[in-house]
Amino acid sequence: MSEAIPKTMRAWQVTTPGPIDGDPAPLALVEKPVPTPAAGEVLVKVLACGVCHTDLHVTEGDLPVHQEHVTPGHEIVGRVVARGTGTRRFDLGDRIGIPWFRHACGVCRFCRAGKENLCPHSVYTGWDHDGGYAEYVTVPEGFAYRLPAAFDDVTAAPLLCAGIIGYRSYLRANIPAGGRLGLYGFGGSAHLAAQLALKQGIEVHVFTRGKHAQEAALAMGCASAQGAYDHSPVPLDSGILFSPAGAMVPPALENLTPGGTLALAGIHLSDVPAIAYQDHLFHEKVLTSVESNTRRDGEEFLTLAARLQIRPHVTTYPFTEALAALRRVKRGDLDGACVLTF
């Protein structure tokens, strides 16, 4: 049975992009109309929404404005409460997950080659379209996920970006079986990638500025945890850079063994300093970026996470405290993910 849907809702929206600690703040809580699902879309009542570093980039203006006064948020768990014309994948009441990757054209050469994450017409939740820092949100039904019953709402939320992007980065890093992996930065995505690696027999070394995050990495079972720019205690087969600090790229490359791969996981990275060919790239080392994910990545990761019992460490904030949550993410030294609860 369908439920009554209000005409208006509370939602956070970016006013003028700028520092999250600024006065006035770049994010404001407003009243706005509940969106109407278009053809092929469903309307979702939000139950939980993760707070991702990309939300910070959108709010502070590190990423260009794609939609004026956009509502951030793209790690959304919610319940289907209305359906647009032509929808048949989900029933009313179904619990689904809404990720960063909102839509691709399906006909360009990248989409046809199974590389829809590179589609030049792709759009993103919480950047091109209003996201989950709101009581209701819409999503094209073909780009939402069914969520394993093993995860409650709060636990599932960070998996929808931090987990999926970490998984794609893990694949791009070409980690050999039983190899050694370096993780640079240890926030929401890295701590999930660490769990995946450890459960698959990979030796993990963490490089992060936060003492609390270092302690959390060691408690999790990582082989070592040191400063962000420190030399690795052992040569590494692979590395994943989660931090947006481009200055970490040269030392991360230097830590690689010959033939090693460094994957850059973020959508935003500050400028990379000059790289010395002999010290950083010679011996067939590989430097690669990661752009979003495919829907296949998401389906694979959610299935794997349920089977391997991967669980994010979560700090919850009430929906009305979104500003505080984003400020906590910016401070860093967070050994997990923040999630807004409704």
User: How many structural domains comprise the chain?
Assistant: 2
In terms of residues, how long is the chain?
342
Residue 308 has pLDDT above 70, yes or no: yes
Are 255 and 316 in a shared domain?
A: no
**Which of 198, 205, 171, 177 is CA-nearest to residue 311?**
198
**Which of 340, 312, 313, 314 is CA-nearest to residue 326?**
340
Are 134 and 184 in a shared domain?
A: no
Model confidence at 299, pLDDT cuts 50, 70, 90, reads very high
Question: Cα(222)–Cα(179) distance, rounded to whole angstroms?
Answer: 13
Instruction: Count Cα atoms within 13 angstroms, Cβ side, for 167.
Output: 21
Question: What is the mean predicted confidence (pLDDT) over 54-64?
Answer: 96
* Digit-coded pLDDT (tens) for 140-178: 999 999 999 999 999 999 999 999 999 999 999 999 999
Q: Is residue 26 part of a domain?
A: yes
Question: Cα(143)–Cα(293) distance, rounded to whole angstroms?
Answer: 12
**CATH number, domain at 192?**
3.40.50.720
Cβ atoms within 10 Å, residue 299: 13
Q: Is residue 90 part of a domain?
A: yes
Q: Is residue 68 part of a domain?
A: yes
Are 272 and 170 in a shared domain?
A: yes
* Digit-coded pLDDT (tens) for 193-230: 999 999 999 999 999 999 999 999 999 999 999 999 99
Question: Cα(206)–Cα(242) distance, rounded to whole angstroms?
Answer: 11
Residues facing residue 31 across a β-bridge: 10
Q: In this structure, what is the dihedral angle of CA atoms 333, 232, 297, 325, given to the nearest 10 degrees?
A: 10
Q: Is residue 299 part of a domain?
A: no
Are 267 and 171 in a shared domain?
A: yes
Model confidence at 3, pLDDT cuts 50, 70, 90, reads confident
Instruction: Count Cα atoms within 13 angstroms, Cβ side, for 86.
Output: 8
Are 141 and 168 in a shared domain?
A: no
Share of the chain above pLDDT 90, in %: 96
Question: What is the mean predicted confidence (pLDDT) over 314-339?
Answer: 92
- Per-residue pLDDT, 17: 97
Share of the chain above pLDDT 70, in %: 99
Are 106 and 45 in a shared domain?
A: yes
- Per-residue pLDDT, 333: 72
- Per-residue pLDDT, 34: 98
Q: What is the 3-state secondary structure (H, E, C) of the chain?
A: CCCCCCCEEEEEEECCCCCCCCCCCCEEEEEEECCCCCCCEEEEEEEEEEECHHHHHHHHCCCCCCCCCCCCCCCEEEEEEEECCCCCCCCCCCEEEECCEEECCCCCHHHHCCCHHHCCCCEEECCCECCCCECEEEEEHHHCEECCCCCCHHHHHHHHCHHHHHHHHHHHCCCCCCCEEEEECCCHHHHHHHHHHHHCCCEEEEECCCHHHHHHHHHHCCCEEECCCCCCCCCEEEEEECCCCHHHHHHHHHCEEEEEEEEECCCCCCCCCCCCHHHHHCCCCEEEECCCCCHHHHHHHHHHHHHHCCCCCEEEEEHHHHHHHHHHHHHCCCCCEEEEEC
Residue 180 has pLDDT above 80, yes or no: yes
Question: Cα(61)–Cα(30) distance, rounded to whole angstroms?
Answer: 20
Question: What is the mean predicted confidence (pLDDT) over 27-54?
Answer: 97
Model confidence at 130, pLDDT cuts 50, 70, 90, reads very high
**CATH number, domain at 60?**
3.90.180.10
Q: Is residue 302 part of a domain?
A: no
Cβ atoms within 10 Å, residue 258: 10
Axis crossing angle, helix 188-199 with helix 162-172, rounded to the nearest 10: 50
Q: Is residue 272 part of a domain?
A: yes
Q: Amino acid identity, residue 9? A: M
228 near 205, Cβ under 8 Å? no
Are 176 and 118 in a shared domain?
A: no
Q: Is residue 129 part of a domain?
A: yes
Model confidence at 1, pLDDT cuts 50, 70, 90, reads low
Are 171 and 284 in a shared domain?
A: yes
- Per-residue pLDDT, 35: 98
Are 139 and 183 in a shared domain?
A: no
Question: What is the mean predicted confidence (pLDDT) over 47-69?
Answer: 96
Question: What is the mean predicted confidence (pLDDT) over 26-42?
Answer: 98
Are 128 and 176 in a shared domain?
A: no
Model confidence at 38, pLDDT cuts 50, 70, 90, reads very high
Are 244 and 321 in a shared domain?
A: no
Residue 284 has pLDDT above 70, yes or no: yes
Q: Structural domain of residue 215, as residue ranges?
A: 164-289
* Digit-coded pLDDT (tens) for 234-274: 999 999 999 999 999 999 999 999 999 999 999 999 999 99
- C-alpha 196: how far from chain center: 15
Q: Is residue 153 part of a domain?
A: no
Axis crossing angle, helix 53-60 with helix 322-331, rounded to the nearest 10: 100
Are 14 and 94 in a shared domain?
A: yes
Cβ atoms within 10 Å, residue 239: 30
